[in-house]
């Protein structure tokens, strides 16, 4: 029998390392490659941690509780307030930023640009150099937005007098905060800090925010979750495509703006400003996701991710069962489409708190709802379906509210489980804008990225240790 077998032509099925397969094919051998990886990358400590967590019924129950809280969230935009007034732990000397904690020394260009722009906006410096000197003098306290129930896109800089959206999660009573979106081009969040940027920020503080505050005072709050859910049926994934959600938000705001006591010219300016920016909803999508996920924090034994974020240097995650602890790794290189005139060398590493949308199962996780976004981040329509389908393999379940028409209206993949990420080796799929690596320039493109593996492997080991 064996002799007979060896007498036949070789037909190979290759598992794992693709090199063997390619060698065979190059020698004209018929071969099939199976894209298989050993569980947990074959690392014994991770397998042991998985075994421990998988055998503990408390973990499964905790994850179910987390998913229930996420699905139960009811997020409403209720007010606009100055950051100093609204955000817990905010002080006159504090500057909040995106991602996990970081020092000035390790900050990337766009975050430094936004920090210095923020200090100029606050009147504490008049130039980048003065602002930098102030930082180096130790008089500025940096803190991650996510440690204050806040989120900010890209650099994510929030200074004390900036107006912030106040979003309330009515199922748990918690609140979240985010800045108002400035638009595209030269904007603070991408590290620009010129006159154009500062003038716009002052107008947003002095005209936009008071007008929207008066408008919101006419209502019981605007249902952000409902807008995001509708937008998922209208081609948005509410991270990098927000055109439908922004339109629906405008439809909610307009009657309120008309009824509020706002000077006519200011009302026109406000409407034109929001109308000109299809990304205006992004910051609300983020705040809504934050308010939703914060309600699932601190459940003992829970292996669900509650934060994915980046500061342009490090990627950081938090896990429900280990509240407040950061697990970090290097921020990745975003692959995508660059605006004309920019090259790969211009790209800053991955940046921003906006991956809170993916943490909730939107953004990259819901790209199958947003086929048109491939024109912005690269790839083909079928890729968008593949990304979404894959994410169900690393999530606890699916959303009871957000659904994806092209996947037969299946709920979006929700509740990233670090156990499943480690077991399958599938990393969360994020889509994102790309900032120029130098301060003062702005956005250079958009694309796709995943977090580093070590965020999840370290979190898994820590969770297993806490449970053992």
Torsion sign, CA atoms 90, 96, 100, 105: negative
Under rule CB under 8 A, residue 255 binds its own copies: yes
The token pair that represents 105 in the structure block: 């020394």
Under rule CB under 8 A, residue 259 binds its own copies: yes
Short-list 85, 106, 77, CA closest to 158 = 85
Only one residue has tokens 């990627």, namely 315
If DSSP codes are grouped into helix, strand and coil, which group holds residue 241?
coil
Q: What is the dihedral of CA 105, 106, 110, 116, to 10 degrees?
A: -30
| Residue of 12, 198, 234, 386 that binds its own copies (CB under 8 A) | 234
| Residue of 199, 375, 400, 465 that binds its own copies (CB under 8 A) | 375
Under rule CB under 8 A, residue 224 binds its own copies: no
Residues 393-413 as b/e (b if ≥16 CB within 10 A, e otherwise) read: ebbbbbbebbbbeebeebbbb
Under rule CB under 8 A, residue 400 binds its own copies: no
Bridge partner residues of 222 (DSSP): 77
| Residue of 29, 45, 268, 466 that binds its own copies (CB under 8 A) | 268
| Residue of 228, 260, 355, 371 that binds its own copies (CB under 8 A) | 371
* Minimal distance, residue 336 CB to its own copies, in Å: 18
| Residue of 31, 52, 184, 406 that binds its own copies (CB under 8 A) | 406
Distances (CA, A) of 363 to 102, 124, 214, 426: 25, 36, 31, 17
If DSSP codes are grouped into helix, strand and coil, which group holds residue 242?
coil
* Minimal distance, residue 245 CB to its own copies, in Å: 10
| Residue of 29, 405, 465, 466 that binds its own copies (CB under 8 A) | 405
Question: What DSSP designation does 11 have?
Answer: E
* Minimal distance, residue 206 CB to its own copies, in Å: 20
Question: CB-wise, 26 or 264, nearer to its own copies?
Answer: 264
* Minimal distance, residue 273 CB to its own copies, in Å: 11
CA diameter of the chain: 93
How many other C-beta atoms lie within 10 A of the C-beta of residue 105? 7
Residues 377, 55: Cα–Cα separation, whole Å? 40
| Residue of 85, 251, 466, 468 that binds its own copies (CB under 8 A) | 251
Distances (CA, A) of 457 to 297, 334, 380: 19, 22, 31
Under rule CB under 8 A, residue 228 binds its own copies: no
Contact partners, residue 381, CB within 8 Å, separation at least 6: 371, 374
Phi then psi dihedrals of residue 136, to 5 deg: -65, -20
The DSSP string of 390-422 is HHGGGEEEEEEEEEEGGGTTEEEEEEEBHHHHH
End-to-end C-alpha distance for the chain, whole angstroms: 51
Question: CB-wise, 4 or 261, nearer to its own copies?
Answer: 261
* Minimal distance, residue 157 CB to its own copies, in Å: 29
If 0-12 CB within 10 Å is exposed, 13-18 middle and 19+ buried, where does residue 271 land? middle
Under rule CB under 8 A, residue 235 binds its own copies: yes
* Minimal distance, residue 218 CB to its own copies, in Å: 11
Under rule CB under 8 A, residue 272 binds its own copies: yes
The token pair that represents 437 in the structure block: 């690596």
| Residue of 13, 264, 340, 343 that binds its own copies (CB under 8 A) | 264
Question: CB-wise, 18 or 251, nearer to its own copies?
Answer: 251
Window contacting its own copies (CB under 8 A); options: 137-145, 243-251, 322-330, 459-467: 243-251
Under rule CB under 8 A, residue 243 binds its own copies: yes
Under rule CB under 8 A, residue 372 binds its own copies: yes
Question: CB-wise, 400 or 468, nearer to its own copies?
Answer: 400
Q: With contacts defined by CB under 8 A, how many residues of the chain interact with its own copies? A: 32
Question: CB-wise, 42 or 255, nearer to its own copies?
Answer: 255
Window contacting its own copies (CB under 8 A); options: 76-84, 140-148, 160-168, 251-259: 251-259
* Minimal distance, residue 102 CB to its own copies, in Å: 38
Window contacting its own copies (CB under 8 A); options: 164-172, 407-415, 417-425, 448-456: 407-415
Residues 207, 247: Cα–Cα separation, whole Å? 21
Query: Which residues contribute to the site for its own copies (CB under 8 A)?
Result: 230, 233-236, 243-244, 247-248, 250-251, 254-255, 258-259, 264, 267-268, 271-272, 275, 371-372, 374-375, 380-381, 405-409
């Amino acid at each position: 029998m064996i002799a007979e077998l060896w007498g036949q032509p070789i037909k190979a099925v290759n598992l794992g390392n693709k090199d063997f397969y390619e060698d065979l094919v190059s020698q004209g051998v018929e071969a099939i490659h199976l894209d298989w990886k050993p569980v947990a990358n074959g690392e014994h400590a991770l397998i042991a941690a998985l075994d421990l967590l998988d055998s503990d019924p408390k973990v499964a129950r905790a994850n179910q509780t987390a998913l229930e809280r996420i699905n139960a969230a009811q997020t409403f935009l209720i007010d606009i307030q100055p950051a100093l007034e609204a955000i817990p732990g905010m002080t006159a000397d504090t500057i909040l930023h995106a991602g996990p904690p970081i020092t000035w020394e390790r900050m990337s260009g766009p975050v430094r640009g936004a920090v210095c722009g923020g200090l100029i906006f606050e009147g504490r410096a008049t130039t980048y150099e003065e602002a930098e000197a102030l930082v180096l003098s130790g008089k500025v306290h940096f803190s991650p937005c996510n440690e204050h129930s806040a989120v900010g896109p890209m650099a994510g800089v929030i200074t004390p007098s900036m107006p912030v959206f106040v979003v309330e999660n009515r199922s748990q009573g918690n609140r979240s905060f985010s800045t108002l979106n400035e638009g595209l081009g030269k904007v603070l969040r991408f590290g620009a800090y010129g006159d154009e940027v500062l003038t716009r920020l002052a107008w947003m503080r002095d005209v936009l925010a008071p007008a929207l505050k008066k408008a919101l005072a006419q209502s019981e709050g605007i249902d952000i979750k409902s807008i995001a859910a509708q937008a998922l049926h209208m081609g948005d994934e509410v991270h990098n495509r927000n055109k439908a959600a922004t339109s629906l938000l405008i439809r909610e705001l307009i009657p309120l703006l008309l009824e509020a006591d706002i000077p006519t010219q200011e009302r026109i300016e406000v409407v034109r400003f929001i109308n000109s920016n299809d990304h205006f909803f992004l910051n609300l999508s983020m705040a809504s996701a934050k308010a939703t996920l914060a309600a699932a924090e601190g459940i003992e034994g829970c292996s669900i991710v509650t934060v994915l974020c980046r500061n342009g240097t490090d990627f950081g995650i938090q896990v429900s069962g280990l509240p407040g602890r950061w697990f970090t790794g290097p921020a990745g290189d975003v692959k995508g489409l660059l605006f004309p005139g920019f090259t790969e060398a211009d790209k800053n590493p991955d940046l921003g708190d906006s991956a809170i949308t993916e943490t909730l199962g939107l953004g990259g996780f819901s790209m199958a709802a947003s086929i048109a976004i491939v024109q912005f981040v690269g790839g083909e329509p079928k890729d968008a379906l593949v990304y979404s389908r894959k994410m169900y393999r690393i999530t606890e379940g699916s959303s009871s509210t957000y659904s994806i028409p092209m996947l037969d209206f299946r709920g979006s993949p929700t509740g990233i489980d670090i156990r499943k990420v480690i077991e399958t080796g599938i990393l969360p799929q994020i889509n994102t804008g790309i900032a120029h690596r130098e301060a003062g320039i702005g956005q250079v493109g958009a694309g796709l990225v995943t977090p580093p593996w070590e965020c999840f492997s370290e979190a898994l080991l820590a969770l297993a240790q806490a449970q053992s």
